Amino acid sequence: AVVVSVLASRLTRYDFLGGRLTRQLAALNKYLSQNGVSAEMAFRVQRSAEHALSGINGELTQDTVELLSAVSEPLRVEVHFAMYSRVLNWHPFFADCIAEVPHIMRGICHYAMATMLLCRGDVLFSFGEEPANPRMYFVRKGTLTYIRYGTNTMIQEPNWVAEAVLWTRWKHQGTLTAASDAKVA
């Protein structure tokens, strides 16, 4: 009886969440249609929204996990450090910083790092763009294509791009596009 009750509860929850997702997607489609967005662009927006809400290949981002906001701030700092220090360790400078000044790197992981899920075809930045909010990106999953002067470079884990934005005022020297569904930090 307990197993049946648990299963029924979960099925009801999934049905509720599925209905909520369906309503949200319908509202999004109506909004895009009312504002003259092309069918192709609307499809890309809907796919991106579905991935953001349900995750790409099961991946979730912090903003889709409501209970994280109930966790104490100091504990979230530790969670972010656990999540992002592994990624930052790929880079020699940040690996040294984690070893030498972990208290500072905890703050960087908490305040400056975030996970972004990308759908195939999403453009992360374009040639000549001067980012308003400069970000270096670490590829955690998937494949990105960097195109510079007609040359394509495939970028996968454990690589990073756009490091120069940390050290100088920067204009991107190429275009970075998700070649597959991807996860970057």
pLDDT in tens, 150-162: 999 999 999 999 9
| pLDDT attached to residue 60 | 66
Find the Cα–Cα–Cα–Cα dihedral 4, 7, 11, 12, rounded to 10°: 60
CA–CA gap between residue 4 and residue 161 (Å, rounded): 50
Helices and strands (H, E) in the chain, number of each type: 5, 8
Higher-scoring residue by pLDDT: 144, 73: 144
Residue 3: pLDDT band with limits 50, 70, 90 = very low
Higher-scoring residue by pLDDT: 37, 173: 173
pLDDT tens digit sequence for 21-30 = 788 778 888 8
As a whole number of angstroms, the longest Cα–Cα distance in the chain is: 65
Q: Tell me what percent of the residues of the chain surpass a pLDDT of 90.
A: 56
* Predicted structure pTM score: 0.73
Element (H, E) at 148: strand 143-148
| pLDDT attached to residue 52 | 65
Residue 6: pLDDT band with limits 50, 70, 90 = very low
Residue 53: pLDDT band with limits 50, 70, 90 = low
Residue 11 has pLDDT above 50, yes or no: no
Residue 31 has pLDDT above 60, yes or no: yes
| pLDDT attached to residue 55 | 59
Dihedrals phi, psi of 93, to nearest 5 degrees? -65, -50
